[in-house]
A and B are shown apart, each in its own frame.
Chain A
């Protein structure tokens, strides 16, 4: 099993510099979701990578930043995530840990259209945060 189910312990490790894939957390989700959400770290490099890949027209680049739970399914029929030419700006200061997830606000801009706010839900895979899903921010 390659899925990373982080625990509270893992989150502590994250705050100190990240979880490694070898340091796989326990699999009890209830253990991982206790406690209140807290601010978590999303590095500038990771932010840039996500912003560029998620607006890329190259499916392979997009796939590289998708969580494995969604990557294969998306890749079999790679639909356009955002309209061509869109930009995405992630605000790492809003990153909040929610269980094993990291929620972070982002804004997409497309020429001729109103900008749109999103909440990106990320999960940790090795050293990287990968995109698991999004929802429109109210």
Chain B
């Protein structure tokens, strides 16, 4: 090849690579072409997804998005969500760092988060992942893992994992010191049930996971697993594990042979990735029951690894986690007491527009227009929020104060020196640092406001705090248009 074609080829390659941009803002289709008819009943994230939280469902090793078909009724019903079935069927037997796997997931997460932001949504996504899908999410959250340009860690509101082999699968534990007694029992169980068609799918999957070269990365301590970074610290992960116990019957005695996890992943491995952040995340073990290795005559039916995306106990946990994520990241709305709790909190841009009709004075934003707070600088070392009435002197207005916020560091920590007060009746209360900060610390705090300057907050030494909402259970009657 002479030099010119080489240059042309290089240029074409460059163009192709550069051309692999994230989907355009309008490309709100499923992450890739799912089989016709598959997952079509999801409330998909489309051009009008608006303020809904985009949620990715990510299948696992040797699987495809159809595995989630029976999850639609439970997950798709979570209010305030739209869904993206991430499809990497063609590369689902390759490791998460494959270009079409975590890198593309990260690309799509960032893309959908940006679209969410532009449509007034939370600017974040949630992820519900099965098995290796959880490792995909782990990798997608860290640029150095997937090697792509997209840093998705700040765009993920929560991750729920089902049976994710964070420390590998015990089926791959080949060295003597890693093998478990229960693995021998599982071998026997497989020999007991993997006859005929009794447990064909389960048997095929477990066999493939154990014996195929494609699954070698799931070996505990494998180079692939060792190189996989833990989930970014600011991302909450609710890890769900299944635990099946084996037993045998010896005439009149029953012998417990121990746990085999979900038959592919032990609960210790599945739960290893759990982390709580800001009230989200956690860990749950689902009791999959007991199976007799010689007597039951069939593959495990309940919440074993390959059935978790259909198991209502797993799905309910995921739905609850997504619901909590929706509640936490939803942009606060203006309201009216006749419509329920009033929420005051908006972007500075919205505040500029609405402050006059709200009768809010003394408002001076020092946040950029895409942040949801309105803060005044009260002194050199304190910031605060004021809400001021201009239509007289309303008596006995009671605010149920709910402050939702976060620090830019992502750490769920209440900053030092939070004070709440009014200009006429001082009700300042200090909240020490180190408490949970996601609303709980001062939720429900009641303060009587008796003056035209209704309420203020002061955040000493809290430059990194963003106030997302201040809610009151009653507001004045000057907001007839904001409900």
Q: For residue A75, which residue of chain B has the nearest CB?
A: B255
The answer to whether A81 and B251 have CB atoms under 8 Å apart is: yes
Interface string of B176-219 (1 = CB under 8 A from A): 10010101110110111011000000011001001100000000
The answer to whether A5 and B191 have CB atoms under 8 Å apart is: yes
How far is it, in angstroms, between the C-alpha of A92 and the C-alpha of B185 when the chains are bound?
25
The answer to whether A68 and B184 have CB atoms under 8 Å apart is: yes
How far is it, in angstroms, between the C-alpha of A1 and the C-alpha of B174 when the chains are bound?
9
The answer to whether B249 and A134 have CB atoms under 8 Å apart is: yes
Given known pairs A1-B176, A133-B292, the reply for A66 and B187 (CB within 8 Å) is: no
Given known pairs A29-B191, A70-B257, the reply for A81 and B248 (CB within 8 Å) is: no
B190 contacts which chain A residues (CB < 8 A)? Answer: 29-30, 33
User: Is A112 among interface residues, defined by CB-CB distance under 8 A?
Assistant: no
Q: Select the residue from A2, A79, A132, A133 with max chain B CB neighbours within 10 A.
A: A133
User: Is B293 among interface residues, defined by CB-CB distance under 8 A?
Assistant: yes
The answer to whether A101 and B252 have CB atoms under 8 Å apart is: no
The answer to whether A73 and B258 have CB atoms under 8 Å apart is: yes
A100 contacts which chain B residues (CB < 8 A)? Answer: 188, 191
The answer to whether A27 and B251 have CB atoms under 8 Å apart is: no
How far is it, in angstroms, between the C-alpha of A101 and the C-alpha of B184 when the chains are bound?
14
User: Is A43 among interface residues, defined by CB-CB distance under 8 A?
Assistant: no
The answer to whether B252 and A81 have CB atoms under 8 Å apart is: yes
Which of A79, A101, A108 is within 8 Å of B191, CB to CB? A101
How far is it, in angstroms, between the C-alpha of A108 and the C-alpha of B252 when the chains are bound?
11
Which of A29, A69, A81, A121 is within 8 Å of B194, CB to CB? A29
How far is it, in angstroms, between the C-alpha of A98 and the C-alpha of B295 when the chains are bound?
13
The answer to whether A27 and B187 have CB atoms under 8 Å apart is: yes
How far is it, in angstroms, between the C-alpha of A98 and the C-alpha of B294 when the chains are bound?
11
How far is it, in angstroms, between the C-alpha of A98 and the C-alpha of B257 when the chains are bound?
21
The answer to whether A74 and B187 have CB atoms under 8 Å apart is: no
User: Is A123 among interface residues, defined by CB-CB distance under 8 A?
Assistant: yes
User: Is A19 among interface residues, defined by CB-CB distance under 8 A?
Assistant: no
In residues 39-61 of chain A, which contact B (Cβ within 8 Å)?
54
User: Is B15 among interface residues, defined by CB-CB distance under 8 A?
Assistant: no
The answer to whether B248 and A133 have CB atoms under 8 Å apart is: yes
- Closest CB of chain A to B220's CB: distance in Å? 15
The answer to whether B207 and A29 have CB atoms under 8 Å apart is: yes
B255 contacts which chain A residues (CB < 8 A)? Answer: 70, 73-74
Q: For residue A26, which residue of chain B has the nearest CB?
A: B211
The answer to whether A121 and B294 have CB atoms under 8 Å apart is: yes
Q: For residue A6, which residue of chain B has the nearest CB?
A: B191
User: Is B256 among interface residues, defined by CB-CB distance under 8 A?
Assistant: yes
The answer to whether B250 and A3 have CB atoms under 8 Å apart is: no
Given known pairs A1-B179, A29-B194, A99-B192, the reply for A80 and B252 (CB within 8 Å) is: yes
User: Is B481 among interface residues, defined by CB-CB distance under 8 A?
Assistant: no
- Closest CB of chain A to B460's CB: distance in Å? 60
The answer to whether B293 and A135 have CB atoms under 8 Å apart is: no
User: Is A105 among interface residues, defined by CB-CB distance under 8 A?
Assistant: no
Q: For residue B258, which residue of chain A has the nearest CB?
A: A73
User: Is B380 among interface residues, defined by CB-CB distance under 8 A?
Assistant: no
How far is it, in angstroms, between the C-alpha of A33 and the C-alpha of B211 when the chains are bound?
16
Which of B188, B195, B253, B292 is within 8 Å of A69, CB to CB? B188
A3 contacts which chain B residues (CB < 8 A)? Answer: 183-184, 187-188
How far is it, in angstroms, between the C-alpha of A43 and the C-alpha of B210 when the chains are bound?
35
Which of A32, A66, A101 is within 8 Å of B250, CB to CB? A66
The answer to whether A81 and B250 have CB atoms under 8 Å apart is: yes
The answer to whether A118 and B251 have CB atoms under 8 Å apart is: yes
Given known pairs A28-B207, A69-B257, A73-B258, the reply for A135 and B249 (CB within 8 Å) is: yes
The answer to whether B250 and A134 have CB atoms under 8 Å apart is: yes
The answer to whether A74 and B253 have CB atoms under 8 Å apart is: yes
The answer to whether A132 and B188 have CB atoms under 8 Å apart is: yes
The answer to whether A30 and B194 have CB atoms under 8 Å apart is: yes
Which of B187, B195, B257 is within 8 Å of A5, CB to CB? B187
Interface string of B221-251 (1 = CB under 8 A from A): 0000000000000000000000000001111
User: Is A82 among interface residues, defined by CB-CB distance under 8 A?
Assistant: yes
The answer to whether A99 and B191 have CB atoms under 8 Å apart is: yes
User: Is A90 among interface residues, defined by CB-CB distance under 8 A?
Assistant: no
B249 contacts which chain A residues (CB < 8 A)? Answer: 133-135
How far is it, in angstroms, between the C-alpha of A115 and the C-alpha of B194 when the chains are bound?
32
B210 contacts which chain A residues (CB < 8 A)? Answer: 27
User: Is A104 among interface residues, defined by CB-CB distance under 8 A?
Assistant: no
B295 contacts which chain A residues (CB < 8 A)? Answer: 133, 135
The answer to whether A33 and B191 have CB atoms under 8 Å apart is: yes
In residues 85-100 of chain A, which contact B (Cβ within 8 Å)?
98-100
B195 contacts which chain A residues (CB < 8 A)? Answer: 33, 98-99
The answer to whether B251 and A69 have CB atoms under 8 Å apart is: no
How far is it, in angstroms, between the C-alpha of A128 and the C-alpha of B268 when the chains are bound?
35
**A5-B188, A98-B195, A133-B294 given; 18 more Cβ-contact pairs under 8 Å:** A3-B184, A28-B207, A29-B191, A33-B190, A33-B194, A69-B184, A69-B248, A70-B255, A73-B255, A79-B252, A98-B192, A99-B194, A108-B251, A133-B250, A134-B250, A134-B251, A135-B249, A135-B292
What is B's interface to A at a CB cutoff of 8 Å?
A: 176, 179, 181, 183-185, 187-188, 190-192, 194-195, 203-204, 207, 210-211, 248-253, 255-258, 292-295
What is A's interface to B at a CB cutoff of 8 Å?
A: 1-3, 5, 27-30, 32-33, 54, 66, 68-70, 72-74, 79-83, 98-101, 108, 118, 121, 123, 131-135
8 A-B pairs with least C-beta separation: A3-B184, A133-B294, A133-B248, A29-B190, A99-B191, A79-B253, A121-B294, A81-B251
Would you mind naming 19 contact pairs between A and B with Cβ atoms under 8 Å apart?
Answer: A1-B184, A28-B207, A30-B204, A33-B191, A33-B194, A69-B184, A69-B188, A69-B293, A70-B257, A74-B250, A74-B255, A79-B252, A80-B253, A82-B251, A101-B294, A133-B250, A134-B249, A134-B294, A135-B249
